[in-house]
Amino acid sequence: MDSGKEQLLSPSSINEREYFRRSFDARESFDLDSDIDATEFLQSDPLTSSKPSTAAFSNRPRNRWLRNPCRCLTGRSTKCIIGFLVVFALVWLGLGTGGFFAFKKYKQTPPDGLSPPWYPTPKGGTSRNWAESYRRASEMVAKMTLPEKVNVTTGTGWKMGPAVGNTGPATNVGFPSLALQDGPLGIRFADNATAFPAGVTVGATWNKELMYQWGNAHAIEARKKGINAILGPCIGPLGRMPAGGRNWEGFGADPYLQGVAAAESIKGIQAEGVMATIKHLVANEQEHFRQPWEWALPNALSANIDDRTMHELYLWPFGDAVKAGVASVMCSYNMINNSYACGNSKLLNGLLRDEMGFQGFVMSDWLAQRSGVASSLAGLDMTMPGDGEFWEDGKSFWGSELTRSILNGSVPLDRLNDMATRIVAAWYQLGQDDETRFDREGPSFSSWTDEPEGVYAPGSPSEQDTVPVNRYVNVMGDHASLARQIAAEGTVLLRNEGLLPLARDAGNLSDKMARRDSPLRIAIFGEDAGPGEGPNHCPDRGCNQGTLASGWGSGSVEFPYLVTPVEALTKSWEGDGTVKVSTYLTNQPPFAKEPEILRDAQLCIVFANADSGEGYKAWEGVKGDRPDLSLQKGGDELIVKVAQGCNGGSGDVLVVIHTVGPVVMERWIDLPNVKAVLLANLPGQESGNALADVIFGDVNPSGKLPWTIGKTLDDYGEGAKIMYLPNGVVPQQDFKEGLYVDYRHFDKHGTEPCFEFGFGLSYTTFEFSDCTVKQLKEKTALPSPRPRDFAVPPEYDSSIPDEDEVLFPEGFRKLEKFVYPYLDTIDDIVSDPYPYPDGYDIKQPASGAGGEEGGNPDLWETYVTVSANITNTGGSAGKVVPQLYLSYPEGISTVDVEFPVKVLRGFDKISLEKDETRTVTFNLTRRDLSYWDVNMQNWVMVVDGEYKFSVGRSSRDLPLSGTW
């Protein structure tokens, strides 16, 4: 076996199979009426399976003939049989360029990955910041039985507890079951909790303080609901593909912006004592083919990324998260260089733990674990939700199988001890042993029913007592005001030709719009302005109807309410006889039958949107990832018709867009009477109020684009396009564009965007002046030598425990499908030599890039500062976002690498009164100034030539510059 291609993905012998949990169920619901539709190949609704079940979760074939294929085959119809076989062949031949032959070649998980091995897993407890927590954790873990250690690391199964993720307790030592619940918008499946703006809206604020407060408020609500760990924030996907289904959960398409936002929100979450979980590690950039069988293929997509790109782009924000002390990292569904992320030793052991110094625990995404022994050796610490390959099957890769693996010697007890210690240390690190704040009673709500009473484990068919499961605790406090502020500051003003802000009465509007002899006529158009069927109409927000305030999937929440734009706007004009408002909350108003709708309107406000979400759900043509960058439900056509017809084509038009990501605006952006455009992103429950604040000038817009708006999808490059059809049964996605994602690609190719990264207007104006560069430390190519570990990891007795302690206790009542750590018998334990992966017994050299949380401490030292003065030269107070971009030295013969034209390396947000001037200073660290050298395997600073620092309003409006 090639040690450079670790064979950790599937058992290869009969004996090994006994120690691995593989699939024991036939594949169900194979719907041949669909091409490759995610929702048609699920055994049950994977991440929702929620309260209560509805037809939306049905996985039966939609065609009667397909529901009964056997009836057809057992009949006498030759045409029927031939038709069935033809359809079956066409489906498999369409799986990729390799067709049937590719399937024949890849019937099983690829035995060889391209990701090099990195063993053994570095132990936790080396960091100064975690030393005391590890000391206390080691004392507890030393007293645990083997089943208790296994219990701590293994989820109890899907729907086997009140939260979406529940671990087993270590009762004898007083360690509780942990409750893990989705974010990152709020507490998923919970009542009386805030529906915050989405991550992309938070990113669009470019406001570090709001990023912190967003995380902190979320954690306050989670703690009060009895949650130990929030499954957020999200920084993967990064946003390589503008149509990616879950981009909206993250903060934007730049690693620096993502990293700062992640760090601030993690600090906010963990200041409340709740564990943050940074996700998804790594390169889960599209929903299509993200995991096995969700799209009919037996394997997930492999994201193939070179070393430098991995470090400088996709891992960069994870470094910020680790530096911030994040308690948990969630590994993703996809493969990385043909090795599943949750079993990729190079990723989890080498990059995350050795280089970044991660001290917390790694948990799998839900069902992202693809092996038992292999994943534990590769660095996985906690499996979620505990089931094996399928939902609610109770056949865990760990649980009793992990217990068996310890007894037969296939998993070293040393590894299990580290797994359990990391989890317990995180619990201590966050102060969750304080029972005045974490009462050990678990969540006060059920993820599976809205009724006050139910069973503890509804995923089990076993008979159970009915107990109180929902206490309806209201935890929202005053968080609506914070949600409103974030939504307002995350709204981006893209165009304004004197239209905004609007006045609340016609007397203060322009002469063009006001008629002295009649009220001002305002018309509001678009389904996106109104309530539709309500914000919670579709499970997990899995459809686009009414105003768009959130994407769909596990990152969504139950809205306690949703203030719609039409409600807030009409309320602002309510009772004003000088204004007459008409509303048409549809994307197909009866313009032909009632031409006066447009003809009489002097001001037209038109709403449109674009939605997407997680791949297990589909809405119309949107199967997780968007099929294009167009506005949905005829939004572009609506805007064009309104602009052409508003007051006979002379009326003013305000366009408002709610979207999960960039949308192409070329059909209407240059129409002469489109006077203003607002991009409101995904604003959460306070949508309408926040929008009204901006439109009427109560809040001066200060949002900035967290990604580029191109003129076409092609503008983003080939690497930005979703793979909608697989190129093999194991889809291979090569990240050939390297570092050139979003604005970096536009800069490299000289492509003119519609609106550039970092762009956003204000109602006032700002002047930038006096750029000053100050050196604090001399340039040196490499960081200081890696420091010695601050502390020594805990050591335990490594002898195999007494086998009798792993048996089910006498009289123990088991719940069917519940994941337990116990065994029924030990008679079948065989301690044959385990075929550890090649390289497992070779100790890896410590990376010079490591040494503490976040990596070598020298990487975080400030080497140079850049200062600039900003003056508010307009007529009103406002907030400004100064941005700093770095350009590496050019033409250096000693540096044979290519650099982007510029990269974001600093931003701030300050409030300025009229005529006020303030100085902003950016601190640039060694890490900011370095690139990843694939030969040196370290962060390297360019010591020859001059760095250029550009400061300004956006990535293409940079009036100031300085050199170093």
- 869-909 pLDDT, tens digit per residue, is 999 999 999 999 999 999 999 987 777 899 999 999 999 99
Give yes or no for residue 940 having a pLDDT over 60. Answer: yes
Angle (CA) 432-434-439 rounded to 5° is 85
Among 55-69, 294-308, 763-777, which range has the highest average pLDDT?
763-777
Give yes or no for residue 321 having a pLDDT over 70. Answer: yes
- Give the confidence band of 115 by pLDDT, cuts at 50, 70, 90: confident
Give 44's contacts (C-beta < 8 A, 6+ positions apart).
Answer: 57, 59, 391, 392
Rounded Cα–Cα distance for residues 589 and 601 (Å): 14
Give yes or no for residue 52 having a pLDDT over 60. Answer: no
State the pairing for strand pair 302-304/229-231.
unpaired
Own/partner pairs, 449-458, CB within 8 angstroms, 24+ separation:
449/51, 449/52, 450/51, 450/52, 450/191, 456/161, 456/162, 457/156, 457/157, 457/159, 457/160, 457/161, 457/815, 457/818, 458/159
**φ, ψ (nearest 5 deg) of residue 396:** -75, 145
pLDDT digits (tens, 9 = 90+) for 516-572: 568 999 999 999 999 999 999 999 999 999 999 999 999 999 999 999 999 999 999
pLDDT digits (tens, 9 = 90+) for 152-191: 999 999 999 999 999 999 999 999 999 999 987 899 999 9
Give me the DSSP letters along 147-182: HHHHHHHBB--TTSSSSSEEBPPBGGGTBPPPEEEE
- The answer to whether 365 is a known catalytic residue is yes
Per-residue pLDDT at 510: 52
Q: What percent of the chain has pLDDT over 70?
A: 87
- Give the confidence band of 812 by pLDDT, cuts at 50, 70, 90: very high
User: Does an H or E element contain 732, and which?
Assistant: strand 732-734
Instruction: Convert 877-934 into a string of H (helix), E (strand) and C (coil).
Output: CEEECCEEEEECCCCCCCCCCCCCCCEEEEECCEEECCCCEEEEEEEEEHHHHEEEEC
Contact between residue 910 and residue 880 where contact means Cβ atoms under 8 Å apart: yes
User: Does an H or E element contain 674, and which?
Assistant: strand 674-679
User: Which of left, alpha, beta for 460 (phi over 0: left; psi -120 to 50: alpha)?
Assistant: beta
Per-residue pLDDT at 51: 55
What percent helix, strand, coil does the chain show, rounded to 5?
25, 15, 55
> Catalytic residue among 31, 254, 320, 365, which?
365
- Give the confidence band of 514 by pLDDT, cuts at 50, 70, 90: low
User: Does an H or E element contain 571, and which?
Assistant: helix 565-572
Per-residue pLDDT at 21: 28
Give yes or no for residue 104 having a pLDDT over 60. Answer: no
Give yes or no for residue 686 having a pLDDT over 60. Answer: yes
- Give the confidence band of 576 by pLDDT, cuts at 50, 70, 90: confident
Among 883, 873, 667, which Cα is nearest to 759's?
A: 883
Give yes or no for residue 64 having a pLDDT over 80. Answer: no
**φ, ψ (nearest 5 deg) of residue 320:** -65, -40
Q: Which two tokens stand for residue 757?
A: 């990264």
Per-residue pLDDT at 804: 85
Give yes or no for residue 663 having a pLDDT over 80. Answer: yes
Rounded Cα–Cα distance for residues 68 and 897 (Å): 60
Per-residue pLDDT at 143: 97
More confident position, 835 or 909:
909
Per-residue pLDDT at 48: 42
More confident position, 14 or 155:
155
Contact between residue 320 and residue 260 where contact means Cβ atoms under 8 Å apart: yes
Instruction: Convert 945-962 into a string of H (helix), E (strand) and C (coil).
Output: CCCEEEEECECCECCEEE
Which neighbouring-strand residues pair with 330? 363
The mean pLDDT value for 583-604 works out to 96
Q: Which two tokens stand for residue 260?
A: 């700062």
**φ, ψ (nearest 5 deg) of residue 927:** -60, -40
Per-residue pLDDT at 195: 98
Give yes or no for residue 25 having a pLDDT over 70. Answer: no
Contact between residue 375 and residue 155 where contact means Cβ atoms under 8 Å apart: no
- Give the confidence band of 777 by pLDDT, cuts at 50, 70, 90: very high
More confident position, 596 or 115:
596
Per-residue pLDDT at 278: 98
The mean pLDDT value for 500-512 works out to 72
- Give the confidence band of 12 by pLDDT, cuts at 50, 70, 90: very low
Per-residue pLDDT at 603: 97
Per-residue pLDDT at 27: 27
Q: How many CA atoms lie within 13 A of 798 on its CB side?
A: 8
DSSP three-state, residue 874: coil
**φ, ψ (nearest 5 deg) of residue 480:** -60, -35
Q: Cβ–Cβ contacts within 10 Å for residue 315, how many?
A: 25
More confident position, 125 or 95:
125
Contact between residue 867 and residue 921 where contact means Cβ atoms under 8 Å apart: yes
Contact between residue 303 and residue 241 where contact means Cβ atoms under 8 Å apart: no
The mean pLDDT value for 356-378 works out to 97
Per-residue pLDDT at 507: 56
**φ, ψ (nearest 5 deg) of residue 886:** -105, 135
Rounded Cα–Cα distance for residues 928 and 859 (Å): 8
Per-residue pLDDT at 832: 80
Q: 409: burial class by Cβ within 10 Å (0-12, 13-18, 19+)?
A: middle
Among 414, 402, 378, which Cα is nearest to 150's?
A: 402
DSSP state of 827: T
Number of H helices, E strands in the chain: 23, 29
Per-residue pLDDT at 81: 47
The mean pLDDT value for 203-209 works out to 98
pLDDT digits (tens, 9 = 90+) for 710-731: 999 999 999 999 999 999 989 9
Rounded Cα–Cα distance for residues 8 and 117 (Å): 10
DSSP three-state, residue 193: coil
Q: How many CA atoms lie within 13 A of 883 on its CB side?
A: 28
DSSP three-state, residue 494: strand
Q: Which residue has 């009465």 as its token pair?
A: 505
**φ, ψ (nearest 5 deg) of residue 336:** -120, 115
Provide the mean pLDDT of the chain: 89
> Which of 264-278, 568-582, 902-916 has the lowest average pLDDT?
568-582
- Give the confidence band of 508 by pLDDT, cuts at 50, 70, 90: low
Per-residue pLDDT at 509: 58
**φ, ψ (nearest 5 deg) of residue 209:** -65, -40
Sheet holding 766-775, edge to edge: 766-775, 862-872, 917-925
Per-residue pLDDT at 517: 66
- Give the confidence band of 35 by pLDDT, cuts at 50, 70, 90: very low
The mean pLDDT value for 377-403 works out to 96
